[in-house]
């Protein structure tokens, strides 16, 4: 079972990283692959009651790879961690199948209470761009994309793309296929939500200005001419 999972991990790296030239290169030179190996060992120890050993193996993995995966986390098949340095996956995190994480991603908790879910759930096919932070017991829906450096603190619907701080939806229900892998979780020509908001605000200002000009024109045309006003005649 473990060897089958490792073969799957090698194949997913070869599929998603054009820089990977062979299985041997993945085995010896890819820290994301090494992190999954360490996680498999630490998780096995943790779930068999050897929690200190599990944490120690996880700690070794962090030292050697720069990637921290808590042994209590739940990780699905074919997790792809690209580059990997600085990735943090917390204890109650749940990750589905075919998920991709880039360097600097944090799947963090927002509570200090024990015995509750404190970390996010990433459903199948999620892609999280470099430096993104997903915080709290929220759900990132199936095939959702989180752009680089986004900060996500609320649920994200399936098939949507979110970017920014705090993260906002820029593309909804895009329905990407499994073959349309989006590097860093950001498709081409993603609209900037801030720029779009400014554009809408400017359009509204222009519309209001036009209406004011029309009202002023009507008011000017409705004012009587002083020469036509009999009350303005000189009293002799």
Cis peptide before 166 (omega within 30 of 0): yes
Return the SS3 of 176. Answer: coil
The model's pLDDT over 178-213, given as tens digits with 9 standing for 90+, comes to 445 666 656 556 666 667 778 888 888 988 988 898
The model's pLDDT over 55-83, given as tens digits with 9 standing for 90+, comes to 999 999 999 999 999 999 999 999 999 99
Interatomic CA distance for residues 90 and 73, integer angstroms: 6
% of the chain beyond a pLDDT of 70: 83
At 179 the pLDDT is: 47
Q: CA distances (Å), 1 to each of 4, 6, 7, 69, in order?
A: 5, 9, 10, 20
At 91 the pLDDT is: 94
Does 49 score more than 70 pLDDT? yes
Which segment of 14-28, 111-125, 163-177, 186-200 scores lowest on mean pLDDT? 186-200
Are 171 and 154 within 8 A, CB to CB? no
At 92 the pLDDT is: 95
At 191 the pLDDT is: 62
Q: Is the sign of the CA dihedral 119, 125, 126, 131 positive or negative?
A: positive
% of the chain beyond a pLDDT of 90: 58
Nearest to 84 by CA among 188, 9, 138, 160: 9
């Amino acid at each position: 079972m473990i060897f089958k999972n490792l073969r799957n991990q090698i194949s997913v790296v070869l599929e998603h990283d054009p820089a990977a030239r062979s299985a041997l290169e993945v085995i010896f030179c890819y820290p994301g692959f090494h992190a999954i190996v360490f996680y498999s060992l630490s998780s096995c120890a943790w779930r068999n009651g050897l929690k200190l050993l599990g944490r120690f193996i996880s700690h070794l993995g962090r030292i050697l790879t720069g990637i921290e995966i808590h042994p209590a986390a739940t990780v699905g098949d074919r997790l792809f961690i690209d580059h990997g340095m600085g990735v943090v996956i917390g204890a109650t995190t749940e990750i589905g199948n075919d998920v991709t994480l880039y360097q600097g991603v944090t799947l963090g908790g927002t509570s200090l209470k024990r015995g509750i879910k404190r970390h996010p759930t990433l459903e199948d096919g999620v892609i999280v761009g470099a430096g993104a932070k997903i915080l709290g017991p929220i759900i990132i829906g199936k095939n959702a994309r989180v752009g680089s450096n986004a900060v996500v603190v609320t649920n994200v619907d399936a098939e949507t793309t979110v970017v920014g701080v705090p993260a906002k939806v820029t593309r909804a229900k895009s329905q990407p296929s499994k073959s349309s892998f989006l590097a860093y979780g950001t498709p081409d020509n993603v609209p900037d939500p801030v720029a779009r908001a400014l554009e809408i605000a400017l359009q509204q200002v222009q519309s209001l200005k036009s209406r004011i000009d029309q009202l002023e024109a009507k008011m000017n045309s409705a004012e009587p001419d002083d020469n036509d006003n009999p009350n303005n005649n000189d009293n002799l």
